[in-house]
Amino acid sequence: MNKIHSGYFVSLRNQTILSQIPFAVPFEERLSVCFVTIFFVRRPFSASLFKGPIRVVMYNSASVPEVGVDGGGIFREFMTEVLKQGFSADYGFFLSTQDESELYPNWANEPFLGNTEEVHYFFGRLVGKAIYEELQVEPRFALFYLAAILYSDTKSVDFNYLSSYNRTVYNLRSVANYEGNFENLHLDFSIICTLLFQTFELIPGGANVRVVKENRREYVQRVAEFFQLIAAFRRGLTEMISFKWLSMFSPAELQIVISGFTNSINVVEWQSSTLYERTIVEEMTETEKSRLLRFVTSCSRPPLLGFASFRPLFTIQVLLDVTDRLPTSATCVNLLKLPNIPDALTLKEKLLFAIQSSSGFELC
């Protein structure tokens, strides 16, 4: 059984400040830097070991271990937060699409946690672990990125794969050594995914940067780096989930397997699969419903097979002798504990405060 201590990712800006003038960063933020340690303990974990049970110890802002015992719920919370933070565009490993709803790798990133390729390999492992544990995660990936993962299972960069994106860049070696008129090639710093009819840029504004003799080697390097990151992520993912199982899904279906459905939460189904006789959930907004789900189950999205697939079922327990405390939860058993408050409005206010507080596993 493995044990991991959690913290938070440090942003690119604070990473630089911490290395030069650490006391310029508030004490609370410096405490949160321990999240970076997840990248330094990643190497000893073999694939078989990573598939096994992992127990997580949460530390609060005072560096004191929280009292919650990990029966599975704290691990799910940890995985959710690691993936949410790690895939955030703020840290430079991934970029957002124009509507900021989907992610794809940032191959132009300057690594601050070691080899970028190795980091993407580890992210692939984390996503594979989430699938293995039937945990839907917050990040959603661009379909062209998932298509590249699914439609090439090579373990190293294969230039032949470029033909499925753009026939004119089929032979990168020829581009690197080309001495003719580059105007005839009609190349720019972008790649067209013909499978999905989408274009994505190799550098900011790349669709408007023409490939010429002076920048041809940079172009070849950018394309190669992109496929290296895809190959690294795929390698980590398929160590956890066999490629033959992943290949059963289309890119859109794999998106659902990884991140779940994004449509409105079905409250009627939720109620029918909940062990409780009354509810105030139907009065909540979609954001509040998602927060409640995460508060109780560590995941903000319903399970792929519906609420009835929760094991154990989503359960609400009223603490008859408690009237003055906030609602709490036991995420390892999907249990919401409510104080005995007859007034529905007061109970709703306390519940909303609890799910929005983002406190740890010691909330009372």
CATH number at residue 272: 3.30.2410.10
**Residue 279 within a domain:** yes
Instruction: Let me know whether 252 and 324 are in one domain.
Output: no
Helix (H) or strand (E) holding 117: helix 116-132
Instruction: Let me know whether 11 and 114 are in one domain.
Output: yes
Torsion angle of alpha carbons 254, 128, 58, 3, nearest 10°? 170
Q: What values do phi and psi take at 96, rounded to 5?
A: -95, 150
Q: How far apart are the first and last CA of the chain?
A: 29
- Its pTM stands at 0.62
Listed in order, strand segments (DSSP E) in 205-363 are: 315-319, 328-330, 335-339
**Residue 152 within a domain:** no
CATH number at residue 200: 3.30.2160.10
**Residue 174 within a domain:** yes
Of 258, 275, 295, the position where a domain reaches its end is 258
Q: Are 210 and 187 in contact (CB under 8 A)?
A: yes
**Residue 10 within a domain:** yes
Angle at 95 between CA 91 and CA 101, to 5 degrees: 115
Instruction: Let me know whether 221 and 327 are in one domain.
Output: no
Instruction: Let me know whether 295 and 349 are in one domain.
Output: yes
Residue 105: beta bridge partners?
Answer: 94
CATH number at residue 85: 3.90.1750.10
Helix orientation angle between 143-150 and 251-259, rounded to the nearest 10 degrees: 110
**Residue 145 within a domain:** no
Q: What is the pLDDT of residue 127?
A: 92
- The DSSP call for residue 300 is S
Q: Are 307 and 347 in contact (CB under 8 A)?
A: no
List active site positions: 332
Instruction: Let me know whether 211 and 338 are in one domain.
Output: no
Q: What is the pLDDT of residue 13?
A: 54
Q: What is the pLDDT of residue 115?
A: 64
Q: Which domain holds residue 89?
A: 2-95+102-139+232-258
Instruction: Let me know whether 220 and 280 are in one domain.
Output: no
Instruction: Let me know whether 252 and 286 are in one domain.
Output: no
Instruction: Let me know whether 34 and 121 are in one domain.
Output: yes
Helix orientation angle between 73-86 and 116-132, rounded to the nearest 10 degrees: 140
Instruction: Let me know whether 252 and 271 are in one domain.
Output: no
Question: CA-to-CA distance for 6 and 21, rounded, in angstroms?
Answer: 24
**Residue 148 within a domain:** no
Question: CA-to-CA distance for 269 and 306, rounded, in angstroms?
Answer: 8
b/e 134-164 (16+ beta carbons within 10 angstroms → b)? ebbbbbbbbbbbbbbbbebeeeebeeebbee
Q: Are 241 and 129 in contact (CB under 8 A)?
A: no
**Residue 22 within a domain:** yes
Instruction: Let me know whether 225 and 238 are in one domain.
Output: no
Q: What is the pLDDT of residue 19?
A: 52
Question: CA-to-CA distance for 229 and 167, rounded, in angstroms?
Answer: 21
Of the candidates 152, 314, 178, which has an alpha carbon nearest to the alpha carbon of residue 231?
152
Q: Please say whether the dihedral angle defined by the alpha carbons of residues 156, 202, 241 and 73, taken in this order, is positive or negative.
A: positive
Q: Are 226 and 189 in contact (CB under 8 A)?
A: no
Instruction: List the structure tokens of 202.
Output: 């190799």
Paired sense of beta strands 328-330 and 335-339, if any = antiparallel
Instruction: Let me know whether 220 and 277 are in one domain.
Output: no
**Residue 150 within a domain:** no
Instruction: Let me know whether 110 and 249 are in one domain.
Output: yes
Per-residue pLDDT of the chain (364 residues; tens, 9 = 90+): 444 444 334 444 555 554 555 455 554 454 344 344 455 445 556 777 777 777 777 666 566 666 555 556 677 777 877 887 778 766 778 877 766 678 888 766 554 445 678 888 888 998 999 898 888 888 888 887 888 888 754 333 344 444 444 444 456 667 777 777 888 777 888 876 555 556 777 777 888 888 888 888 888 877 777 778 888 899 999 999 998 889 888 888 999 999 888 777 877 788 777 766 556 787 888 889 888 988 888 788 887 777 887 878 888 888 888 888 888 888 878 888 888 888 888 888 888 998 887 655 444 3
Q: Is the peptide bond before 312 cis (omega within 30 degrees of 0)?
A: yes
In Å, how far from its chain's centre is CA 67?
A: 26
Q: What is the pLDDT of residue 163?
A: 45
In the chain, how many domains are there? 3
Q: Are 191 and 150 in contact (CB under 8 A)?
A: no
